[in-house]
A and B are shown apart, each in its own frame.
Chain A
Amino acid sequence: MSSSSTTTTTTRLLMLKASDGVTFEVEEAVATKLGAINNMVEEEGSEDLICLPNVNGKFLGMVLEWCKKHANNNTNSDKGNDEVNKWWDKEFVMDLDQNTLYHLLMAADYLSGTELVDLLTEKVASMIRGKKVEEIRETFKIKSDFLPGQEEEIRKKNSWAFE
């Protein structure tokens, strides 16, 4: 985790405090990859402690881990960066279970980490491709509100999609 101490001394450190009181010391350049933090830094100026009451420490940690990787990869600007980032993103989302994915997506969304939101959204999409209607209802906890017969009607119209 501590990969950042050898850079120039002008790097400003921010303190991020999660909902459960866990704090993270992060370089400004890393934390401002998150739109919400970038805004706070610009608005509030010198404030070094930022409280994030909507994000739990576990998930804030994961979000910041992602930010660090991307910030580091972007500083040594050679062509392979995109590839490295892509590869790393793949690793990052590979083994996420539904619960973690959900909380991460909520955290990334709250912190306006656009790129990370995109990555996680794609991951959720890949998990719900090719599923049965019932499986989708189960995943999103949705109850069918169609009247009797209505659902069959819709199924009939695009019957090939159910083959």
Chain B
Amino acid sequence: MASLPWAAIVNILARLPVKDLLRYRCVSKLWCSLIDGPDFIKMHLNHSMETSSNLGLIRAGRQLHWVGLDTLNKAVRLKPPSEQVTRDAHFGKFMKVPISDKENPGKFEFGTVGFGYDPVNDDHKFLRMTHYFGRDSSSFESEVKVYSLKSKTWKRVGDHLYHGYHCESGVLVGNSLHWMMRVRFPDSTSVHIVVAFDFVTEKYWEILLPDKKSKQEYGVKESWTKLFSVVPSDVTGVFKSATPLAYLKSARQVLFDLDGEKLMVYDLDTKKAKSVRKISECPKCLHTFISVGSLVGLGGLGGGDGENSGKKEGENGDNREKQEQQPGGQKR
């Protein structure tokens, strides 16, 4: 392998897991600068996305655990500095995010967060929404802020106009994060809609939802088709709720969470639940998020997060919002 062309070596390395790459930074100066470089970081992430590799689940209950999607059996405990962390930061680094800048005006407060990529500006963005509910719908207030990893600043964007609750955590499709919401009307009726936040335009938009169905042609109402329905069976055992977590493209399987306790793999070709299992060392969880293991640092592409590059370490202290990182999740 000694005399492989450099381009071939780069292609090989782009297929490795993050943990290996962080170790192989020690191989030589050349390897270190390659792995830290923005082009490689982008190439590695793109490859992971295209091939559905380096995927994992972050399971959040009282603690955070990370489970690799390739094995689905071993949970690793993550130790963030506080409860508010960015989801994408598997193992490596965490970022503290303030819940809100506003003084709570004596209303019920509901917040949700999301993480996505803006390919136009080549920027990873973190979305934070806070809704304040008063006694009636007219007292509804919202505050939506976006943190840019590139510019390392927060920016307030247009308010969230929908008066209602997010049913699940967001699902990222393309450049938009999607939530199912129950929207309440003044006459106390309600309806389910899908609200999307576009990370490029930083605006909300709405998808019409006929029923609990899956979409075919993105964004068009008529294009929804029912793919399958899930009911308890001998294989699955008894469960109250089944939440789809991920579609595994190459295997044509859908991964479900059952009651926050078990994971189920459903095969789209055989139309059968393939395996149902409890993950060892992972207590019951409330939320599960999909994560992609990447080399993208919380300071933006280019390893400029102060941890990897060293030379930029001083710059992080100037941030208006406090940003903290710690070098690693620990194994139990």
| Interface residues of A, Cβ cutoff 8 Å to B | 98, 102, 105-106, 109, 117, 121-122, 124-125, 128-133, 136-137, 139-146, 151, 154-155, 157-163
Contacts and interface: CB of A to CB of B under 8 A. Distances in A.
A125 B27 contact: no
A122 B9 CA distance: 11
Interface stretch (B11-19, B98-106, B234-242, B273-281): B11-19
B320 interface: no
Interface residues of B, number: 34
Contacts, number: 89
B24 A124 contact: no
Nearest to A106: B4
A133 B23 contact: yes
B328 A102 contact: no
Given A125-B12, A157-B308, 15 more contacts: A105-B8, A117-B11, A125-B13, A133-B26, A144-B26, A146-B29, A154-B26, A158-B92, A158-B327, A158-B328, A159-B328, A160-B331, A161-B19, A161-B23, A162-B23
B26 to A, nearest CB: 5
Contacts of A109: 5, 8
Nearest to A86: B250
A121 B8 contact: yes
Interface in B3-53: 4-5, 8-9, 11-13, 15-17, 19-20, 22-32
Interface of B: 1-2, 4-5, 8-9, 11-13, 15-17, 19-20, 22-32, 91-92, 307-308, 327-331
A10 B304 CA distance: 60
User: Lowest 7 A-B CB distances belong to which pairs?
Assistant: A141-B2, A160-B328, A125-B15, A161-B22, A158-B22, A161-B23, A133-B26
Nearest to A153: B310
A144 B1 contact: no
A154 B8 contact: no
A122 B328 CA distance: 28
A140 B327 contact: no
Contacts of A105: 4, 8
Given A122-B15, A160-B327, A161-B19, A140 B2 contact: yes
Nearest to A146: B29
A140 B29 contact: no
18 contacts: A98-B1, A102-B1, A124-B1, A129-B16, A133-B23, A137-B27, A140-B4, A140-B9, A142-B27, A144-B26, A144-B27, A144-B28, A145-B30, A146-B29, A154-B25, A154-B26, A158-B25, A158-B92
